[in-house]
Structures are given as C-alpha cells and as structure tokens.
Structure 1
Amino acid sequence: MSGLRRLAAGGCLGCFAAALAVAVAGLVHRPVALPVTVAAIAITVMAAWAALVGRGPRRVAAGLVAVVALIGLILFAEVAGLVRVLLIVGLVAASAALARVAFGRHRPAGTRVGPARRGVLLVNPRSGGGAAGRHDLADEAARRGVGVVMLTAGADLRSLCEAAADRGADVVGMAGGDGSQAVVADVARRRGLAYVCVPAGTRNHFALDLGLDRRDVAGALDAFGEAVERRVDLGQVGDRVFVNNVSLGVYAEIVQSDDYREAKISTAADLLPDLLGPGHEPPDLRFPTPAHGGGAAGVGAGTADVLLVSNNPYQVRSLGGFGVRPRLDGGRLGIVALRIDRAQDLPRLVALEAMGAIDRFPGFQQWNSPGLRVDSGGPLSVAIDGEALRLPPPLEFHALPAAVRVRVPLHAPGGLVTRPGILGMVPALLRMLAGRTVGCGGDARAPFP
C-alpha cells in the first residue's frame, strides 16, 4: 500500500469527521436540526465517494443522490448558518476528492527493461469484431520493428507461437481475446520468453487487470520498446492454462449455446429460467470447501449452481461482471461458489444482483486456495476464458505462481483498485489507512493439497 494512498485515505476520513464535528458544534442545541444535518452530511459524503470512484449506472445513481443531499444542505443554511454550511460543503468536497486519490489506479512494482531484440506479434484479425484492423495493428507493429504473424482460418496459434520462438523471438505478443492470450502466455512461460498483451479482444479482462488502457490498443505495442516487466501468475486446469477464469455450472451451460457469442445478454435471459427454474436439477459438481464449523480435515463438501475458479481472486459484486482483481501475483486461485435454492431464492438473488451486492446472498461463498479438485458423474461443461468446452472429470485446478514475465508500456495507467459499495466505503478506507490490501476477495485459506 503506497504512502500517498494511505495519506489520502486518512485525509478522506478526517474531512468526513471534521464535517460532522462542525455540524454537531453548531447545532448541538437544536435537537431537530442536528440529526437531519448529520444524516445529510453522511449521505452526501458516501454517495460522493461512490460517484467519484465508481463506474456505470451505479455511478450515475450515486451522483444524483449526492447532488440532492448537497442541495438539501445548502438550503438548510438558514438554520445552520451560511458560513458553517459552506465550511461543511468544502470539507465534503475535499473528502470526495481524496477518496478518488485513495481508490485511484495503482502501478504494481516491476523492473524497467530495454527494447525487445526480436519481438513478434501474433494477430487474430477476427477478435473483437476486427479490432486489429480498426487500429492498424500490423502497420503499427511494423513501424516499431516488431514482426507480425497474422492468423488465418484453421491456423494453430500454439504452433505459430512455438515457431516464432524457434526463429529466435525473445518477446512474443498476442493481439486477440483472453483465450488467445492464455495460449501465447503459456508458450512464453514454457520457453522462457517475455510476453506482451495487446487488448484486441471483446472484453480484455486480463489487460484491464494488468493495468493497460484497453482503449489505447495500438499503445500496448509500446511494451516491445522500453517497458516495465514483472512476473504474474497463470491458472491451470488439466493441461490447459487460463489467464482469467474457468466457469462451471449454469454459466458454462449458457456459454455452450450457439447463440451466446452473438447475443450474450438475451441468450442468458432466455436460458436462465430453465436452468434455475422449479424442477431443474442442480449441476453435478462436487468439490471441497473451507469448513466453517471445524472438522478434522478443516474441509467440507460443496456443490453449486455456479462455480468460478479464477487466476487470483476477483472482487465479486455481481454475476454480470466479476469485477477486477487487485493483484495477479498472489499465487492462489480465487474460488466463488453460488448455490441457488431454486424459485424461493431467485427474487432475492435478482435484487442483490441489481444492487451489486451478490456477495450478501446466503448461497454465496468465496475463498482462495493454491488448488481445487472438481468431480462429477459425467462430462463437465466448462468455459475457459470464455471458450466453451466439455471435459471429463475430475478437473484438477492449480495456480502457477510467477509463471510468466509480462511487459507493459511505461505509459500504462495501472490497475484498478477494487471499489466497494457505498456501505463498504468506510471499512475499505480504514483497511487502506492501516496499510492492508483492499478488496482481495475471500481470504479463507483451506488446506487443499
């Protein structure tokens, strides 16, 4: 935890406390005005925090709440006194600004390295709806002195990457989706090469957690020049490597649909009622879980409708977007299991999903471990970094710590710090002030082999 981040967290909480103290000092003899003002300050500050550090619709909603509460404070000036209200508003604004600094992007430690001697970029021209062509990646790579290997229909990516290594490449990069990134990262791991991720896929989750600017696709090529290099983990299931996650259960069944890639949301909406509705049997997934009630081995037996095994833990707020990973070098798998008791639990699940609070669902469980074994009575539907497969049980998952050397450009903005919800802001800032990592996901450590 950087000193600046801790200082910002302390200042953020300090300004919040000062605003409350000013209100209490001025309105201590007004039993009606005091609680109203304190409540308005608390709502304004926490909503402003969430608006400044959040993303998407929740950011807009939090911003509206903050504005309405702030207007109420200003209109209350006649009772509290104009000078006092202006001071409170200033402290609220300072607290919100410091929250943005505290929850800003972070740059993981790395080593500055010189340009690649013989860099090679593999390009999937079909990924991301043709992102490589839109960003002229072949020309941009050539301009930087990087060799380009363009994938054609039916080409084997692993063989092409191995061939580039055989020809003397010292740095290999991939312009494509996360499934392709995993293949090239695995070759780099096995051959001792450095690896460059170019976010030319659809979602580019791995690039986000590496700290890349996903909008600056061509800019990622600068990692072949002077760059920052660090080691990150990979995940492995059987003989396949993944950079993000492997999903089993309901989500994996949805991914198996032929319509999923063209219409993800509508396909999920059409299939979920059948997969989770009354009378549908849960997926046959058997795996060990951390035992909360003790036990000789300290491990219980689990099953789930949704099981996610990830390369390092995610901050999980909703099933629609698993969030970000605070780090990629923790050396452990993140595991999320969700058990839904069919029709009785669906309304509550939907409500918590809409609030971004899926972790409060009774059937939600999250922990981390160096490995996991998943068994079943038949072949398992899985989605490995979004790729639909059916694999025979049992599935053996392992973390591969510090597996590959990744290069990122010097100008990369850095990774996102996980953003808690409004109610989690104060605890998160207190943890940050204490120098603890924020939002790393479940920290239960089960004694898995």
Structure 2
Amino acid sequence: MATHPGDRARRWWAWAALLCAVAAAVVPILAAGFVGAVALLAACAGSLVITVAALYSFLRHTGVLRWLSLAVAILAPILVAIWFVREHLLWVVLVAGALALAALAAARTALRRSAAETAMPEYSVAPPRRPFLIMNPRSGGGKVAEFDLVRKAEELGATVALLDGPDLIDVTALAEQAVADGADLLGVAGGDGTQALVAAVAAAHDLPFLVISAGTRNHFAMDLGLDRADPARSLDALRDGVELRVDLGTVNDRPFVNNASFGVYAEIVRSPEYRDDKAATVLALLPDLLAGHRGPTLIGRIGDTVVPGPQAILVSNNPYDTNDLAGLNRRARLDRGALGAVTLSVSNTREAVALLRRTRLRGLSQQLPVEVIIEADTEEIPAGVDGESMLLRTPVRCTIRPGDLRVRVPRTRPGVRPPAVAVDWVHLWRIVRG
C-alpha cells in the first residue's frame, strides 16, 4: 500500500519532535552532569511553583501583602536566572529550552490535522429575499455608524431596525414581529447577549441567522471566523454566503451563544464598575471573592461528576481550546453537541500550586457534558450570561441544543483556522511507528 505524502511528512515531523525532546533532556546532563542536571530541573521547577503561588497570593490579598506577592513573583525567576549566570549554566538552559520549544513546534505540526478535517461543514444556500437586521448603534462604541452598516445593509435589500430609542426595546418581540411580517433571515449587529436572543427566535422558526461583528468583544463572531476589525464584511453573507449548523446553549431555558458563568466571575460581571474598568474591578473584587467572604456556596453536577464548593463555574456552548476560566480563548467548532464545563476550586496556596497538575476535581478542570446543573444554598444566584449580569433561580440547568441554529456567514472569512493542537506523545510515537 502506497504511503500518502501527508503521512510521510507527519512521520518526519514526529521524528523531529522526539529527537528534539531527547536532545533537550540530554544536553543538561552532558554539560552539567547528572547532579547538575537535577539541580537545574529543581531550580526551574521551584521557581515556577513559587511564581504561581505568589501570583495567586497577589490575586487573593489586598494592600501591602498583594504588592509583596507581586514582587516575589517577579523576583523568583530573575534570581534563578542570576544563579544560572554565576554557575555558567545559562547557555545550557537556553539551549535546552530552545530544543524543547522546537520539539513542541514539531509535535504540533505532526499532530495538526488539515483545515478540511477540523472546519465545520458548510452548506451552499441562495441569498435571502427579505432579510431583517437589528442594529444597536451604541454597541462596540458606535461601530454601526462608524462602518455605515445601515446604508450598506439596505443596499443589499435588508430591512434595518435600530435600537436607538430612550425606552427599553423587547428584542425578542421585535424579531418575532419581523418573522410574522415575512422575514426569511434574522440578523444582529450588537453584543453577544442580543445575538443570543435573536438567534433563539431564528432557531425556533428554522430561519438563518446572521452575525454582524459590531459588538465590543465579539466572541461568537470570532469563533465563526468573521472579520472583527471590519463588521461590514459580515454583510457579504447576504449576497455570497454559506450556512453552518451551530449548537445553541440554554441556561434555565434562556439561550446563550458563548457562555454562562457562576461564582467569582458572575460576581465580578455583576459589579456596576465592571463595564467601565474591567481590570481594576477584577483586581478589587477577586481577593474577597476567593477568600469566600461573598457569594453563595455552589455545587456543580457535571454529567456524572459532582464538584462541591467551586469558586467559579463556566459553562460554554461547546468547549474552548484550553482550560479557560474567563472564556477568552477560541472554540474551534460550535457543532460538537457538548457543553464545555470549567470549574475552579482553590482555597489556599497549596491548591493554587496544584493547578499545575490539572487535577480532576480540585483546581481547574474541564469536562464535556450535555447537561450541567448548578445548585446553591440560596434560591437565586448571580450569573453572567454572554456578558450580561442577571439572577437565576436554583437549581440552574444548562443544556445544549445540537445543530439548532442555521448561521449564515460569508463564504470567505479571515478568521477560520485549525484549532489549537494538544501535544499527545503517545499518539506521536504511533505516528513514528506508522
């Protein structure tokens, strides 16, 4: 049987990864001897543990102790580097580090699948005849006006409704009325919370849904591969678009396209100061929240697993690329039919250091259930749903609706790329063996 050229290339990359990894381990031993290599490893590991513990202390405490912790986190690696220089071992660390990075890069290349294998299936569709778009002129600091989205959408045959009145507008009712009037596509230029409400209406009527990347953070648009720098390019889907079948998350029957957060992160989002200065709000509230002085006690039931007393739970519509408490990373696919459930359980510095081991029920862990139930010792708990703060009755039930949403996107999207690759050395060895 002939070997595929792509398989041969993967085998060469796998060989390169293994050889670089072996070299990274051998170089310190040849240069410094076995005892010296052990000392190098201990120094690096000790510096990493101290830095992690100090950073956790920085997040947890206030006042002088906070800034002392930050100083320790900065000084620990610097002092280790100075020791390496004095012992004439810095070159060994740099060479070994470069070989380790080369091994990781080669391993990721060997394990990376093609874009065709990882991308969501696309379906060819005809352009809509009566598209209806809802635009929030305040979203994203005024991107609707900045990019002239109303005029450009109307030129493509869309009816546009602006959320610019002084009174609160029921977005769901507005979308339902558009469907009753004959709209054959619904779209939103606004934040992810507004996107989710209109997406639920589109899913209920089996209509295509258009995402226009005019929000502040645009997580949903990012995961769809849309151009977040120029939201007008999202309108290309009205004339040359394809459809993706995307899952839709629900929390107590309310839809969400990104995530629902509980505990520490939900308390932070709930703060009135959060939208004006996110970083300062996080630093101000995190010490009290991690110390357990605020917020209800949670119990997470994630599939068959029970996580007692986590400080935070993040439930996402499909998993993020990495364990990500804040939901800042990408989701390579939105059609896996599973929630991403990330929990954080840290009560002291020892457990903060244990995050490095990615233990199953303590520290930071991620699982892929189809249902997550959050219980609490209160009748209501704060939640952040697609960045919007709200109170939800307990127990809170999060579910996934596979393939419920028909998302219309431009045929050409600049943000489509293969997902992050986890390095699996066992799989790499199998590639080497053919």
TM-score (norm 1): 0.70
| Structure 1 counterpart of 2:83 | none
Report the alpha carbon displacement of residue 327 of structure 1 after superposing the two structures with TM. 1.6
2:134 aligns to what SS in structure 1? strand
2:368 aligns to what SS in structure 1? strand
The alignment status of 1:310 with 2:320, answered yes or no, reads no
Counterparts of 1:363-378 in structure 2 under 5 Å?
A: 363-376=363-376, 377-378=378-379
- Asked if 2 retains the 8 angstrom alpha-carbon contact of 1:103 and 1:419, the reply is no
| Structure 2: gaps spanning 5 or more residues | 38-90
Counterparts of 1:231-270 in structure 2 under 5 Å?
A: 231-270=245-284
Aligned counterparts of 2:427 and 2:245: Cα–Cα separation in 1: 28
The alignment status of 1:412 with 2:413, answered yes or no, reads yes
| Structure 1 counterpart of 2:157 | 145
Counterpart of 2:170 in structure 1: which amino acid?
D
Report the alpha carbon displacement of residue 378 of structure 1 after superposing the two structures with TM. 2.5
- Asked if 2 retains the 8 angstrom alpha-carbon contact of 1:120 and 1:164, the reply is yes
Aligned counterparts of 1:163 and 1:425: Cα–Cα separation in 2: 50
- Asked if 1 retains the 8 angstrom alpha-carbon contact of 2:11 and 2:110, the reply is no
Aligned counterparts of 1:97 and 1:196: Cα–Cα separation in 2: 37
Aligned counterparts of 1:273 and 1:280: Cα–Cα separation in 2: 9
The alignment status of 1:210 with 2:224, answered yes or no, reads yes
- Asked if 1 retains the 8 angstrom alpha-carbon contact of 2:302 and 2:369, the reply is no
| Structure 2 counterpart of 1:65 | none
* Alignment counterpart, residue 334 of structure 1, candidates 324, 333, 340: 340
Which stretch of structure 1 is more off in the superposition, 410-419 or 116-125?
Answer: 410-419
The alignment status of 1:196 with 2:210, answered yes or no, reads yes
- Asked if 2 retains the 8 angstrom alpha-carbon contact of 1:5 and 1:103, the reply is no
The alignment status of 1:129 with 2:141, answered yes or no, reads yes
2:390 aligns to what SS in structure 1? strand
Report the alpha carbon displacement of residue 19 of structure 1 after superposing the two structures with TM. 6.8
Change beyond 3 A, Cα 1:411–1:259: same
Change beyond 3 A, Cα 1:332–1:316: same
Aligned counterparts of 1:267 and 1:328: Cα–Cα separation in 2: 31
| Structure 1: gaps spanning 5 or more residues | 40-71, 77-87, 291-297, 435-449
* Alignment counterpart, residue 155 of structure 1, candidates 169, 189, 203: 169
Aligned counterparts of 1:239 and 1:306: Cα–Cα separation in 2: 21
Change beyond 3 A, Cα 1:137–1:182: same
The alignment status of 1:390 with 2:391, answered yes or no, reads yes
Counterparts of 1:65-104 in structure 2 under 5 Å?
A: 99=109, 102=112
1:267 aligns to what SS in structure 2? helix
Report the alpha carbon displacement of residue 132 of structure 1 after superposing the two structures with TM. 1.5
Aligned counterparts of 1:5 and 1:196: Cα–Cα separation in 2: 36
Change beyond 3 A, Cα 1:366–1:426: closer
- Asked if 1 retains the 8 angstrom alpha-carbon contact of 2:10 and 2:109, the reply is yes
- Asked if 1 retains the 8 angstrom alpha-carbon contact of 2:351 and 2:362, the reply is no
Change beyond 3 A, Cα 1:210–1:360: same
Q: Deviations over 1:113-141 (max 9, x none)?
A: 12111112211111111111211111221
Alignment root-mean-square deviation, CA:
4.2
- Asked if 2 retains the 8 angstrom alpha-carbon contact of 1:107 and 1:211, the reply is no
Q: Deviations over 1:375-397 (max 9, x none)?
A: 22231100110100012212122
Change beyond 3 A, Cα 1:366–1:145: same
Counterpart of 1:226 in structure 2: which amino acid?
D
TM-score (norm 2): 0.72
Q: Deviations over 1:399-443 (max 9, x none)?
A: 1111111111111135444435xxx54549839969xxxxxxxxx
2:216 aligns to what SS in structure 1? coil
Aligned counterparts of 2:23 and 2:372: Cα–Cα separation in 1: 53
Aligned counterparts of 2:145 and 2:384: Cα–Cα separation in 1: 27
Change beyond 3 A, Cα 1:238–1:428: farther
- Asked if 2 retains the 8 angstrom alpha-carbon contact of 1:375 and 1:394, the reply is yes
- Asked if 1 retains the 8 angstrom alpha-carbon contact of 2:314 and 2:341, the reply is yes
2:137 aligns to what SS in structure 1? coil
Counterpart of 1:149 in structure 2: which amino acid?
A
Aligned counterparts of 1:137 and 1:365: Cα–Cα separation in 2: 41
Q: How many residues align?
A: 369
* Alignment counterpart, residue 195 of structure 2, candidates 181, 189, 197: 181
- Asked if 2 retains the 8 angstrom alpha-carbon contact of 1:9 and 1:430, the reply is no
- Asked if 2 retains the 8 angstrom alpha-carbon contact of 1:317 and 1:358, the reply is no
Aligned counterparts of 2:135 and 2:320: Cα–Cα separation in 1: 28
